[in-house]
Copies of this chain bind each other. A is one copy, B any other.
Amino acid sequence: MAETMAETRKKGAEGPDAGLDGFDREQLHRFLREMLLYRRFEEKAEEAYAIGKIGGFCHLHIGQEAVALGFIGPLREDDYVITAYRDHTQALAKGVEPGPVLAELYGRKDGVSGGKGGSMHVFDVEKGFMGGHGIVGAQIPLAVGMGWAIRYREEDRVCVCFLGDAAVNQGALHESMNMAAIWELPVIFVVENNEYGMGTAFSRVSAVPVLERGEGYGIPTHSVDGQNILETWTFVEELVQEVRDGGGPQYVEARTYRFKGHSMSDPVSGTYRSKDEVEGKKEEADPIALLREKLFEAELLTQEELEELDEEVRAVVDEAADFADDSPFPEPEELYTHVYSEINEHGRLFLDSRDR
């Protein structure tokens, strides 16, 4: 999915029929459809969580869909994406099938990670989606390692590493930016600045804005409106090409906003941000609504088409839900599989003296 999107853009198209900002009608509809899919998927997850089909922590990406689509859509399938625990829609954007992602959230056998990872640990190595990491900032050195491997093998892939605004305060970013800079690795550090880390406004834990925090490493820094898919996509498309061509590491702030609570167990608003603030953002900065209105205005979308698209993605999500529901729980034996890739011929690896 992702890579076709990356390819089909008709650069040539111009004039009134060209569409918008150099994107043709088909592409624009695909953008809308993708973001609607992410939105409906997360709503389904929310629903499933409420009735206990999903357990543990579950972090929704609602409100940040354009960041997932804009930074991942332009990539090739063989490019790498790595992120934190807020990983569902980014997985979808990288082309991971909705069914296996939802099945993972349900902790089922057919989940992408066999039900062992759960919501925070979605992995699909085939698709270049390298997870799903739960320790804030821990994915950053991993991304540098993938960038290192790309350079080591002289490939032209890129690695996109997502991190939250609060993760900027982890030493891991500092060490990673420096290593990426000295070895000129093809890594794009994307700070998804949704203004809060859980319940803490970034402005309370940093003396300077996110963008400025990227200075001091010799890495170019950029900031983009992460709620505007067209701006984001265009920017990323060019940036990725630059990195592919040996441009070295990049640091990008994607300005966005989280419409839901930090995780399913957290309130949408509270002491740390007002209901009005959230409602206001939903009003003015919903990436889907923004694109929709643009398309209406430019008469590139009709109400019927919109409803059709929505029907389509709802069908996809319902199918995914059925897939997840139909998938059994992992076999009990799975408890001891995948702890090690190699069970050595000699000696004992498991010391719990349980029978298995």
Residues of A within 8 A of B (CB): 169-175, 178, 181-182, 204-208, 212-219
Contacts and interface: CB of A to CB of B under 8 A. Distances in A.
Contact of A174 (B171, B181, B207, B218): B171
Contact of A207 (B178, B204, B207, B208): B178
18 contacts: A169-B174, A170-B175, A171-B171, A171-B173, A174-B175, A178-B205, A181-B207, A181-B208, A182-B204, A182-B205, A182-B206, A207-B217, A208-B217, A208-B218, A213-B217, A214-B216, A215-B215, A215-B216
Q: Which 10 A-B pairs have the closest CB atoms?
A: A171-B171, A174-B174, A207-B218, A181-B207, A215-B216, A216-B216, A208-B218, A215-B215, A171-B174, A171-B175
A139 to B, nearest CB: 15
A178 B216 CA distance: 13
Contact of A213 (B172, B204, B207, B216): B216
A223 B173 CA distance: 25
Nearest to A182: B207
A213 B205 CA distance: 20
A206 B217 CA distance: 8
B182 A175 contact: no
Nearest to A221: B216
A215 B207 CA distance: 12
A207 B212 CA distance: 17
Contacts of A172: 171
Contacts of A174: 169-171, 173-175
Nearest to A248: B207
A147 to B, nearest CB: 14
B182 A178 contact: no
Nearest to A205: B182
A155 B321 CA distance: 61
Contact of A178 (B169, B178, B215, B217): B169
Contacts of A218: 207-208, 212
Nearest to A172: B171
Contact of A175 (B169, B204, B207, B208): B169
Contacts of A204: 182
A174 B213 CA distance: 10
Given A182-B205, A212-B218, 8 more contacts: A171-B173, A174-B175, A178-B205, A181-B207, A182-B207, A208-B218, A213-B217, A215-B215
Which among A207, A212, A219 has the greatest number of chain B C-beta atoms within 10 A? A207
Nearest to A219: B207
A189 to B, nearest CB: 13
